[in-house]
Chains A and B, each alone.
Chain A
Amino acid sequence: MTEILVVDDSKVMREMIVACLRVGEDFTFTHAASGLEAIEKLALKAFDLVVLDLNMPDIGGFEVIEFIRGQDKLQRLPVLVVTTRGDEGSRVRALAAGASQFMTKPFTPDAILANVQSMLRLDAAGFHE
């Protein structure tokens, strides 16, 4: 069982992400509608991967990433940042803050699924030290 936390303030966007990822996989999904909710859930429960939007009402994705990488127990957690086109400048910032991968909306189901699977594989192989 792979626990995935999907963080986006847009409900329909979360549903789209889950729809992309649920295909034939042993994934369970937890939704978080805000950065703060995501941080709370991460502090209280263990997840295998986070799909994270950068643009959120309370605290942005950067702060969530910084929080994650500031926690010893979350050092290795794979974080896939998903954001809207036009934000390419954020990419470097997100990766510098500690995001593992970066994708731009719109994306295809294949692309996000492949990304998530490869991140989980790398994680299993110990590459996200």
Chain B
Amino acid sequence: MGNAFDASEFLAGFLVEAEEHLSASTTNLLAVETSLRKGENNPRAVRELFRSLHTIKGLSAMVGIEPIVDVAHAMETVLRKADRAAGALSTNAFEALLAGLRAIGERVRALSTSAPVAPAPPQLLDALAALEITQDASPATVELVLDAGLSAKLSATEKAQLLQGAESGRRALRVDFVPSPARAAEGTTITSVRERIGAFAEIVKVVPLSIPASDTAPGGLAFALLVLTDATNEALAAAAATQPEHVQVLHTRRVDGADPLAEPEAAEEDVGEGRKRGIVRVEVARLDDALERLSALVITRFRLARAVDALAAQGVNVGELGEIVKGYGRQVRDLRGAIMRARMVPVAELLDRVPLIVRGLSRATKKPVRVVIDAGKAELDKAVADRVFPAIVHLIRNAVDHAIESPAERRRLGKPEEGLVRVTCFERSTNQLELGISDDGRGIDREAVAHRASRPVPADDAGLLDLITLPGLTTLDHATKTSGRGLGMDIVKRAVVELGGELSLGTTPGAGTTFTLCIPLTITIVDAFSFVCGEQTFVAPVAAIEEVVEVVPEALVRGPSRHTRFGEVRFMERRGEIVPLVNLASVFSLASREEPKALVVRRNGAALAFGIQRMVGQQEVVIRPLEDPLVKVTGVSGSTDLGDGRPTLVLDLVALSGALSQNRTEVPV
């Protein structure tokens, strides 16, 4: 997972920004209350509040202040709902949000005086979670007249804001600012223009527009500022460095029927809603098949690119052809992404069962335990989900069984009686998911673990993790309560490693433990043969292999003149069919060329046998792409871990046989 972030360097900056956002949030929340008293919504203040809390949450996460992350997250959830309901908030919500700001404020101040930061108050989190936001359903009867390009860039809230302003007597105007290096040199930039206009007008939205590049618009860019103001066109034009005649008034018109404002929001939500509405169950195997067919397209793409390069080398102008090849490459990649996404399941769905499990454990151990799940909208490949879930359950069971103290003990330690288990999940990067399982229990005692394992005391949490995941430790450790961590950690570790992931641990005696599972979002699992060839182990999917046969040297027939770089092609007879035999070790230029066995594959009806040293076994393996999955080495579809911690290459013998039969003198390895 790499080194931890040195947050101390940024603490001062964090405190300054957190205070700024807190004070802006207080102002906005009070503005919400003022509107509430008048029976109005205040979508702008709600959105600003949301944004501030989101920023506070992100910053706190970076510097590792989890209690603030928790409170900000709970508040943000309420505000997101309110934002979708066009800024509707109840008095209850107002009170809870105010308490939330106070809680964050206290913790920021604690941090600034180096005092310990208290955990997030559970009552507050519960109160925030319990808030209901109801949609304000009054249909609008007036809409703005805007050109389509501009209209598409405005949210329902922003349109409502412009309309509300225009209805209340202010003028809704559009003025364009065109940036250029010359203007930037004079200090006239979109930032300064916004400040100047903001002094006398309410800026509802600034929309960037691409325009044809010219002497006056060298960047090919204009900003359309949509504002509400009582100021004159002259003042506005001067502030935007343009002419008064370029200021446009935004008109409104009456509409009948459905609420036109609801439309863009609905479109935004389509991703999630659509999934609920139209679910089709598809066997994973069918998606794999689609992916398989796609790889043929990828190969075509590379052949196409090579052909274009060859044309270019002959001096042909391939400009447009090159663009088409690039576009085609992009489309193939998008298609691959689309198929991969079809295999994804929401992590929240996977974790649905966790509260039930915790409730059961809590009853069995007579320890009250609260479970908090923050899975966001992360998604995970079905196959990964199935493999990682047992590990999650294992960690949760350990947390409740062993880590969380009895209520009496917790009381004595000054902890809340109710223990806490938290499961969080977020995407680390485009193909990495981070799952965290933490508890506020007793932590893991390094010395006790070291003693039980009869090993030296580990220097850090990583060393401790190595120790508790030792396969032998579990049988040594019956009195698990003293070490705070229970059984079968080696199983958890193996599950994570087999997925190509990483397990890490952070524990503080007396305060709690967090296990972090970093796992890939997608994997490919196949049933595969493992075998040795040239003293190296390889695997190949069972499905690709027609048969494993014995090679009888006396029965081989030499080919007429088929000498190649990778040795000689010979022929063997198999059920009346003549099958060419290629030594696989030779293909990969490996030293030992024994071949008592051969793997027979078939491509386009033609069989080919690869001579190998010996078979090892058959098992399900997780294939990890070597690098970019679209940059393929012919014959190698990825790597896997057979449990020895070393990467083993996964061979695509069918593709390899194709490459060999196409060009017997050039081996693409």
Contacts from A to B (Cβ < 8 Å): 9-13, 15-16, 19, 33-34, 36-37, 39-40, 43-44, 55-59, 63, 67, 70-71, 83-89, 91-93, 95, 101-111, 115, 122, 127, 129
Contact = CB atoms under 8 A, between A and B. Distances in A.
Contacts of A95: 337, 430
Assign chain B's interface to a size class. 35 or more
Nearest to B203: A58
A89 B271 contact: yes
Contacts of A34: 191
Contact of A12 (B4, B16, B379): B16
A37 B206 CA distance: 11
Interface in B418-442: 424, 426-430, 434
B2 A111 contact: yes
A22 to B, nearest CB: 13
Contacts of B16: 12
B334 to A, nearest CB: 9
B376 A85 contact: yes
B218 interface: yes
B58 A84 contact: yes
Given A40-B191, A59-B205, A84-B58, 13 more contacts: A10-B58, A13-B62, A39-B223, A40-B219, A57-B48, A59-B207, A86-B76, A88-B379, A89-B272, A95-B430, A101-B429, A105-B58, A129-B329
A108 B2 CA distance: 6
A84 B221 CA distance: 30
B190 A37 contact: yes
A103 B194 CA distance: 30
Given A59-B207, A95-B430, A110 B3 contact: yes
Nearest to B12: A12
A113 to B, nearest CB: 9
Given A11-B13, A11-B17, A109-B5, A40 B58 contact: no
Interface string B1-12: 111110001100
B548 to A, nearest CB: 39
30 contacts: A9-B55, A10-B55, A12-B14, A12-B17, A13-B62, A16-B10, A36-B194, A39-B190, A39-B208, A40-B191, A40-B219, A40-B221, A44-B179, A55-B51, A55-B55, A58-B206, A59-B205, A70-B210, A85-B57, A86-B76, A86-B426, A91-B430, A103-B429, A105-B62, A106-B64, A108-B2, A108-B5, A109-B5, A111-B428, A129-B326
B283 interface: no
B181 A44 contact: yes
Nearest to B14: A12
A12 B13 contact: yes
Contacts, number: 155
Contacts of B1: 108, 111
Nearest to A112: B429
Nearest to A85: B426
A81 to B, nearest CB: 9
A70 B341 CA distance: 25
B179 A63 contact: no
Contact of B628 (A13, A37, A89, A122): A122
Contact of A111 (B210, B337, B429): B429
A84 B61 contact: yes
Contacts of A122: 628
B5 A106 contact: yes
B427 A57 contact: no
Select the residue from A10, A85, A122 with max chain B CB neighbours within 10 A: A85
B153 interface: yes
Select the residue from A33, A34, A89 with max chain B CB neighbours within 10 A: A89
A105 B63 CA distance: 10
Contacts of A71: 210, 220
A10 B64 contact: no
B356 interface: no
Contacts of A107: 428-429
B374 A44 contact: no
A85 to B, nearest CB: 4
Nearest to A60: B51
A109 B1 CA distance: 10
B189 A40 contact: yes
B184 A44 contact: yes
A13 B59 contact: yes
B628 A104 contact: no
B223 A36 contact: yes
